[in-house]
Amino acid sequence: MLSVPYALYAKTAGSTSGSANRAVIVSFTSSRNVAVGDINNTIECTASAALTLTTDFTSMVVGETINLEAHNGAVLTVQAASGVTINYNAGGSGKFTSVAGNVRFGFLRKTGANSYIISGQ
């Protein structure tokens, strides 16, 4: 029989040893739909643009996230397509407005088939 501490160690040992998983920085300078490469990574918006969350984006599963950054005067808008909700609002949006010399941060998490929450707006 394994002890609880050993069982916990065995379950997490792979993620606590070796190199850490790191988010990839995804350059974002023009409006587009959410993409597979955005999942669990960081969108670095350096020119005002919109990221659209499309209906039935099944590549992203419930619980997965995207870090959001708007840099140095850029405005990052996250827009829900028809049939998608953001923060429980159908067709909703979130906006991150940075000013020169500053960064605005946010976080997007998938909560259902076509629903997301955004924090840090």
Read off the pLDDT of residues 25-43 as tens digits, 9 standing for 90 and up.
999 999 999 999 999 999 9
Q: In what order do the strands lie in the sheet with 49-53?
A: 32-33, 49-53, 75-80, 93-97
Only one residue has tokens 């829900």, namely: 80
| pTM for this model (two decimals) | 0.82
- Which amino acid is present at 86? I
State how far the Cα of 108 lies from the Cα of 111, in Å rounded to an integer.
10
pLDDT for residue 21: 83
10-14, 20-24, 66-70, range with greatest mean pLDDT? 66-70
- Domain ranges for the chain, please list them: 20-119
Residue 8 has pLDDT above 90, yes or no: no
One-letter identity of residue 83: G
Q: What is the pLDDT of residue 16?
A: 52
pLDDT digits (tens, 9 = 90+) for 38-88: 999 999 999 999 999 999 999 999 999 999 999 999 999 999 999 999 999
> What's the whole-number mean pLDDT along residues 83-111?
97
Residue 62 is classified by DSSP as: T
- The residue with greater pLDDT, 8 or 64, is 64
